[in-house]
Amino acid sequence: MKKLLAAVILLTAGLANAWDQRAPLPVEQCRVHSPYGFAQTARAVQPICREAYLVAYDAPVKIPAYVAYTLLPQNAWVASHAPTHLLQISQSQTDQLHRTMLARATTRDMQHQMGI
């Protein structure tokens, strides 16, 4: 049993690292995400274009200096992940929710000003 479990773990670990990332697209194809280019920085950055975003990558510090993307309605979180009962609320329920949130924020502000 231990050998079977070890084999499954090794197989899973091996498959987890088996996927190779696709090569970046030409930067010209990312004009939809950043039509005017990206912000200029004092550091040298490498532009990397992917299907969903454009990133200006700063390799020495291993962080992005700039990221641009276009969020389409069909890719939005609400359209694909939100429970349907949250999307089907009436205007009066929406108004009540806004009033509740405003009342809570106002109460917090008043407590903060009073030092409570």
Q: Read off the pLDDT band of 26 (50, 70, 90).
A: very high
* 57/29 same-domain check: yes
Q: Is it the case that residue 86 has pLDDT exceeding 60?
A: no
> What's the whole-number mean pLDDT along residues 50-60?
89
What tokens does 53 get?
Answer: 């975003």
Residue 74: predicted pLDDT: 64
Asked whether residue 85 is assigned to any structural domain, the reply reads yes
Residue 24's H or E segment, with its range, is: none
Q: Which of 76, 77, 78, 25 is closest to 53 using CA atoms?
A: 25
Q: Which of 53, 49, 55, 56 is closest to 33 using CA atoms?
A: 53
Asked whether residue 98 is assigned to any structural domain, the reply reads yes
Residue with token string 């079977």: 4
> What's the whole-number mean pLDDT along residues 57-78?
80
Q: Read off the pLDDT band of 36 (50, 70, 90).
A: confident
* Structural domain span for residue 51: 23-70
* 61/81 same-domain check: no
Task: Give the count of domains, the chain.
Answer: 2
> What's the whole-number mean pLDDT along residues 69-81?
63
